[in-house]
Structure 1
Amino acid sequence: MKNHKKAAIWLTIFFFFITSFPRISSAQGVTIDDDTLKQVYQYVEEQFTNKDILGGSYGIIYNGEVIEAKGIGVTDLETEEKVTPTTLYPIASVTKPFTAMGILYLYNQGMLDLKDTVTTYLPWFQYADVEKSSQITIENLLTHSSGVNRFEADGAIYQNEKQNRASLESSIRALSSVEMESNPGEQGEYCNTCYTTLGHIIEKVTGQPYEEYIEETVFSTLGMGHTTFTPEENHDDLASEYSWFFGQQSKTERNYAVFGKSQQSEGGAYSNIEDISKFVTRLVDTNSANIVPPDLLQYAHENGVPLASNEKRFYTLSGFESEDFLEHKTLYKGGDGIGSTSGILLFPEEKLGIVLLIGEAESEVKQPLLQGIASILLGERPEPIDLTWSLWKILGFIALGILGIALILLFLLSFSLRKNIKRKFVLKRKWPYMVGGVLYLLLAIFLGYFLLTMRPSQVGFFGFPWDFAISVMVLIFTFFLWSITLFFSLFEHVKRHKMNISI
């Protein structure tokens, strides 16, 4: 009996001793232990601090297991509520791999073929070149190789937002005037509207709304209970969305409210780090894939079309961008919302995945930060991140500069007007006033035309950030006032000159 007790005691001590060791895995160059995970957390926290990022979360997935899911910072600058792994963020274009997975599922079920033309399911589909449009396949859409320029295609939707935001179909029909720059399948050029079209094909094949199909086929299957296209129905842990206004962090309109139904299949989902990590486990550990067979998923990861800008990288059939990093094959997908940033970096051969969600528009930092985390896990020193300001912050300070110039011109205008009134509009030379009046008027007309017709995006004022638009409008008003004042001064001078002659 005593021997049995002694054996039980020693067995308990043995198991305690074994389980007290840090988690360690170094297969295929990946190191996962407590010290490494601590280093990752410190690294991410340091980058957030240096970049003045208010909050976000990251996840590490290895060998089919979610190793880490951490929140950093706050969800809102006013409430200062802490970010948790369940905090919901708009994931923007990280939605695309979900759409690709939905298409691959339908292919595996025999409900469509990747070589099918788009017109097989949407007979009315076309760009400006009807003949070339009829050759575009589902595969071309998945690999961003339909042949159109992203900005021209997106811009076609911006021309009538009220109509084109209403549904996937209405936004696709707006593409009929878009010119094709290359033949289908020839080269990859990022294409939001390609995935909009894929979403509508899913609707036609299944007879279900896109959102309903993806929620049933992907989200529910993978246990992604918080991932949704209707975040307004889930406010428990929904982060605020931030951008920049005159160089300062400012809440922005929510992603789903701006884009509506027209962007659901290319960038409309909201998720958290826990849910996306569940998705990533199926992407890096093909043995556990339960939506499509492992061989099909691997085929989708490894086949695609090279980017027009870089033939060493290519867009895959799985919705990711493939390239090498530290001599490892990787798959990357980034998302940029109006007030959010997201990214996934996969190392399929190492069965490693990293996910990043940020609660503000910080496009430039996502891929370097993901690569920095990967470097630590692969035993390398992370490269310093170029902590330049984000595009939106730069535009904010440019807007401040424009506003400053406009205010200086207004001050000079008032000074000049007082001076002319004091002189009773007797001018030494008339031609500077005439040339200046015409020049300022032309500048006002040019800037007004630029602001109302350029439409670079679907946000803010006619596609421009609000701070930039406000500053330009003040400058237009200033130029117009200068023009009117100079012409008025010239008119008064001529009038007084005629009166003097008559006297």
Structure 2
Amino acid sequence: MMKDSINLTGSICRKALVLWCLMAACAMSGYAQRKQAPLPPGLDAYVEKVLKVFHVPGLSIAVVKDGQVVLAKGYGVRKTGSGLPVDEHTLFPIASNSKAFTATALGILAERGKLRWDDPVIDHLPWFRLSDPYVTRELTIKDLLVHNSGLAPYAGDLLQFPVTTFTRREIAEKIRHLPLVNSFRSAYAYDNVLYLVAGEVIKAVSGLDWEDFIRQEILTPVGMRETLHRFSLFQQQANAAASHIPDSKGNISVLETFFEEGMSDKSNPAGGIVSNAADMARWMQVQLDSGKTASGKPLFTPATASLLWQGVNPMPELNVPAWIAPARTSLNSYALGFRVYMNRGTKVVTHGGKLDGFVSCVMMFPEINLGITVLTNQESGNAYNAIIQHLADYYLKTAPFDWIAGYRKQEDAKFARFSQLEQQALGVRDSNSRPALPLEKYCGTYRDPWYGDVTINMKDGNLLMKFSHTPVFYGKLEHWQYETFIVRWDHREVRGDAFVTFSLTPEGKIDAVKMKAVSPLTDVSLDFHDLDLKPVNKN
């Protein structure tokens, strides 16, 4: 009886165990079905549609979620007509996304006691000056990174873009001649030149050039083995994306002379790093994990991580149209090499980058441990935004939105605006007017305090303008109206033809020359409008 009772009980227990296992399996299956997939369904098809709609030849994407790389992949081609595919190792300039590396380098040096964020810059660079003695004395290491010095937007970029003969130190020294147009720490005005100064600070306190410090202290520990720390190395790479530029109607062409006019190593601290999806995934992993590298060794401490992402300088609110309404942001500010804001109830840490024919974006959502990088070989920020926002919808679990349609409308509005502005600039002209002076009277050397010399000479009956430190700035002056000419650069891919207007004294001698880009498509770094050219020897 006891034996039979034991057998019956055992049978019942075995059946119960089987039933429990089946129920558990069903529950786990249901959980697996409910668990979010690592990537949005149909992502590849979505990206291919973005390439087509925005006329982007190729791009690469890195997605990091909860510490894991869930995507590092290329789409499209490196160069139109080449048939060479973009993959996760294809190199793209990340341009101003390099600024976060410069800020991180300063954070590492601060942790080592080599500097403090509130140190005056002149404590480390005694030769450095701004045009205002007070600002020179008070400008700190942190101020170099947050665009609040009082300089005009993109001030002094002609010292480095396109390629010039100036060294990084020479550019930093010339900043003293740039006027301050805002009160110190009162406004946001994006600049590149002070990041070059930050590079000089890194050299002064570490004993290493910016490039060597970035490679040795950041790229190597993070495992970014394919990332280039010198822009000059980019041209030598086999697996590299090519530059593609749009015209005023959005038609795309290859910028064949990219390396002649793009940039040189002098600008590396502001925008010289070249990377790919695989390596940018590693960079985001370290940033999202408060400085911890894959080896477990910290690149920097959580305290520095928090500081890098802490807003310092408030930024203007952007006017976001209804067709991309969910992209509206609030509490915009510039941190240390990053922009930070709130979007759809969550904090966003981001930055963009642009160089002729390339745009990129790094966007991180710390509260959900998500990082997204998109690198492209065309100048459509709307293309990368359509991808990033689509991914953000999925991970934030917000309602789907037609970002492709919204950003396509944004793109169309941009080119329509450009076309209208071009027509306005060129549409009002007195074609019967003539220059007040004989052409030879416009010849001579003209000098700007921060750039240097620009010469105008006669050849075969034409006026020719030449910038002494920028080889690609050489071209013919065509009379437009009155005392205004247009300089047409011989190097047609520069995309920077400019009005050149002469001011005369009551005696009919040239007193000054001002310049202004003709097209709204002209890159903002071609800051001709900031030049204040005076004749060296008056006629």
TM interval, short-chain normalised: 0.7 to 0.9
Q: Deviations over 1:65-118 (max 9, x none)?
A: 111112111111121211101110111101111111111000011111100111
Alignment match of 1:382 (pick from 401, 409, 422): 401
Alignment match of 1:71 (pick from 62, 70, 74): 74
3-state secondary structure, aligned to 2:97: helix
Deviation of residue 151 (structure 1)?
3.0
Does 239-248 or 250-259 show the bigger shift? 250-259
Q: Distance in 2 between matches of 1:197 and 1:216?
A: 20
- Normalized per residue, the structure richer in strand is 2
Q: Distance in 2 between matches of 1:358 and 1:127?
A: 36
1:302 aligns with: 310
Deviation of residue 236 (structure 1)?
2.3
Tell whether the 8 Å contact from 1:363 to 1:390 is kept in structure 2 after alignment.
Answer: no
Q: Distance in 2 between matches of 1:214 and 1:361?
A: 27
Q: Distance in 2 between matches of 1:162 and 1:287?
A: 36
1:235 aligns with: 237
1:334 aligns with: 352
Gap runs ≥5 in structure 2? 1-17, 319-329, 438-477, 499-516, 523-539
1:427 aligns with: none
1:493 aligns with: none
Tell whether the 8 Å contact from 1:141 to 1:198 is kept in structure 2 after alignment.
Answer: yes
Distance 1:176 1:364, change over 3 A: farther
Deviation of residue 24 (structure 1)?
6.7
Tell whether the 8 Å contact from 1:244 to 1:392 is kept in structure 2 after alignment.
Answer: no
3-state secondary structure, aligned to 2:353: strand
Deviation of residue 441 (structure 1)?
8.5
Number of matched pairs: 414
Tell whether the 8 Å contact from 1:398 to 1:468 is kept in structure 2 after alignment.
Answer: no
Tell whether the 8 Å contact from 1:23 to 1:32 is kept in structure 2 after alignment.
Answer: no
Q: Which has the higher contact order (CA 8 A, sep 6+)?
A: 1
3-state secondary structure, aligned to 2:41: helix
1:171-320 map, 5 Å: 171-228=171-228, 229=230, 230-232=232-234, 234-245=236-247, 247=249, 248-252=251-255, 253-254=257-258, 258-286=262-290, 288-289=292-293, 290-308=298-316, 312-317=331-336, 319-320=337-338
1:52 aligns with 2:47: no
Amino acid at match of 2:57: L
Q: Distance in 2 between matches of 1:22 and 1:149?
A: 58
2:470 aligns with: none
Q: Deviations over 1:239-281 (max 9, x none)?
A: 1111125643222233685321231101111100110110000
1:170 aligns with: 170
Q: Distance in 1 between matches of 2:103 and 2:482?
A: 41
1:121 aligns with 2:156: no
3-state secondary structure, aligned to 2:69: strand
Amino acid at match of 1:114: W
Does 321-330 or 199-208 show the bigger shift? 199-208
Q: Deviations over 1:356-382 (max 9, x none)?
A: 000111234434532232112222213
Distance 1:246 1:184, change over 3 A: closer
Q: Deviations over 1:433-466 (max 9, x none)?
A: xx96326989924598464599xxx954567699
Amino acid at match of 2:143: N
Alignment match of 1:39 (pick from 32, 39, 42): 42
3-state secondary structure, aligned to 1:134: helix
Q: Distance in 1 between matches of 2:159 and 2:359?
A: 24
Distance 1:382 1:194, change over 3 A: farther
Q: Deviations over 1:106-165 (max 9, x none)?
A: 00111111001111122222222122222111111122222211233324656x96333x
Distance 1:49 1:202, change over 3 A: same
Alignment match of 2:375 (pick from 357, 371, 383): 357
Q: Distance in 1 between matches of 2:78 and 2:243?
A: 8
Aligned alpha-carbon RMSD (Å): 3.9
Tell whether the 8 Å contact from 1:187 to 1:308 is kept in structure 2 after alignment.
Answer: no
3-state secondary structure, aligned to 2:40: helix
1:345 aligns with: 363
Identity fraction in percent: 21
Deviation of residue 21 (structure 1)?
8.0
Deviation of residue 183 (structure 1)?
3.9
Tell whether the 8 Å contact from 2:62 to 2:73 is kept in structure 1 after alignment.
Answer: yes
Q: Distance in 2 between matches of 1:303 and 1:244?
A: 34
Q: Distance in 1 between matches of 2:186 and 2:427?
A: 47
3-state secondary structure, aligned to 1:47: helix
Q: Distance in 2 between matches of 1:58 and 1:214?
A: 23
Q: Distance in 2 between matches of 1:453 and 1:241?
A: 22
3-state secondary structure, aligned to 2:70: strand
2:339 aligns with: 321
Tell whether the 8 Å contact from 1:245 to 1:467 is kept in structure 2 after alignment.
Answer: no
Q: Distance in 1 between matches of 2:368 and 2:485?
A: 50
Tell whether the 8 Å contact from 1:223 to 1:275 is kept in structure 2 after alignment.
Answer: yes
Distance 1:450 1:259, change over 3 A: farther
Q: Deviations over 1:400-431 (max 9, x none)?
A: 989x999xx9xxxxxxxxxxxxxxxxxxxxxx
Deviation of residue 43 (structure 1)?
2.7
Amino acid at match of 2:89: T
Distance 1:466 1:309, change over 3 A: closer
Distance 1:377 1:465, change over 3 A: farther
Deviation of residue 393 (structure 1)?
6.3
2:138 aligns with: 135
- Normalized per residue, the structure richer in helix is 1
TM-score between both structures, scaled by the size of structure 2: 0.68
Alignment match of 1:148 (pick from 151, 161, 175): 151
Q: Distance in 2 between matches of 1:23 and 1:64?
A: 22
Tell whether the 8 Å contact from 1:87 to 1:238 is kept in structure 2 after alignment.
Answer: yes
Tell whether the 8 Å contact from 2:248 to 2:415 is kept in structure 1 after alignment.
Answer: yes
1:111 aligns with: 114
Distance 1:282 1:221, change over 3 A: same
2:533 aligns with: none
